[in-house]
Amino acid sequence: MQNQVVSPADWLALAAAPTFAFMALLTAVPGGGPLDMLCSATPGASPFSGMVLMYLLMSAFHLGPWLRLIANRRRQRRNCAYWA
C-alpha cells in the first residue's frame, strides 16, 4: 500500500464541492431580507433558478477530486483484500 502525501492544494480541491453545495442551500432558503426584493425577478419564482442553479452546477463540476478519492480508497481496499 502506498502512503500518499496530501498537499494543501488537494485539501482545497476537496473543499470546493461541499462549499458550493452549502452556498446553494443557503441561497435556496428564503431569508426574507431586504435584498430579496432586489435579487428576485418575480416574487413567486422557483427557488431552483438563478444563483441556486449556478451553485449546484459548480458543486457538480467540482466533484472530480471526491470521485478520485473514493475510487483510490476502493482500489486500496481491493488490493489489500487480494493480498490478505
Query: Where exactly are the structural domains of the chain?
Result: 8-28+47-83
pLDDT of residue 43: 59
- What's the pLDDT tens digit per position in 29-62? 876 555 555 555 555 566 666 888 899 999 999 9
15-48 per-residue burial string, b: 16 or more CB within 10 A, e: under 16:
ebbeebbebbeebbeeeeeeeeeeeeeeeeeeee
Cell numbers placing 4: 500518499
Mean pLDDT computed over every residue of the chain: 78
Q: Indicate if the pLDDT at residue 1 is higher than 50.
A: no
Which single residue is written with the C-alpha cell 493480498? Answer: 83
- Predicted TM-score (pTM) of this structure: 0.66
Q: How many C-beta atoms surround the C-beta of residue 55 within 10 A?
A: 20
